[in-house]
Amino acid sequence: MSSEQTPTPEAAEAAEETGPRPGRLTAAAALAALEGVALVVGGAWMLVGGLTGHPDDRTSAVTGGVTLIVLALLPLLAARGLLARRGWSRGPAVITQIMALPVAFNMVRADSLAVPTGIVLGVVAVAALVLLVNPTTTQALGIRGPGNAGK
């Protein structure tokens, strides 16, 4: 991230003092939180299934479940930061959406119940990306764009 895109303390304070949080920022935070909760639920389901059921490979099921729960921290922390108007939070939120797109693509290509889930995930990821790069969201987070270093 260049210094031009890094929020300054003054810009962050100004963003907090400009009034209510924009709806786009709240919506982006809600979508990130939704993805985080979905990862926690999926991870818990894998973990419980691995510990109580009869999976083909118990170690893989437990490891996968724990990994999903740990991965849920990224969008959940990003959502919290977005709600608090922290400029740093946009990066993890964008990364989460970019990581979700190939997962959604692979789910859509499957011949199973994963197809509708993949479609929903893809729509949520694209919608969240659009909201996160919106100028209103960027301004609310106090992030200056390229060419605005001196402003």
Distance, CA of 118 to CA of 116 (rounded, Å): 5
Mean pLDDT of all residues in 61-89: 94
Mean residue pLDDT of the chain comes to 86
Question: Looking at the whole model, is its pTM more than 0.85?
Answer: no
Q: What is the pLDDT of residue 150?
A: 58
Angle CA(117)–CA(123)–CA(124) in degrees, nearest 5? Answer: 90
103, pLDDT greater than 90: yes
Residue type, 40: V
Quick: pLDDT tens for 8-62.
555 555 445 567 888 999 999 999 999 999 999 999 999 998 888 877 888 888 9
Decide if pLDDT at 67 tops 70: yes
**3-state DSSP assignment of residue 134:** coil
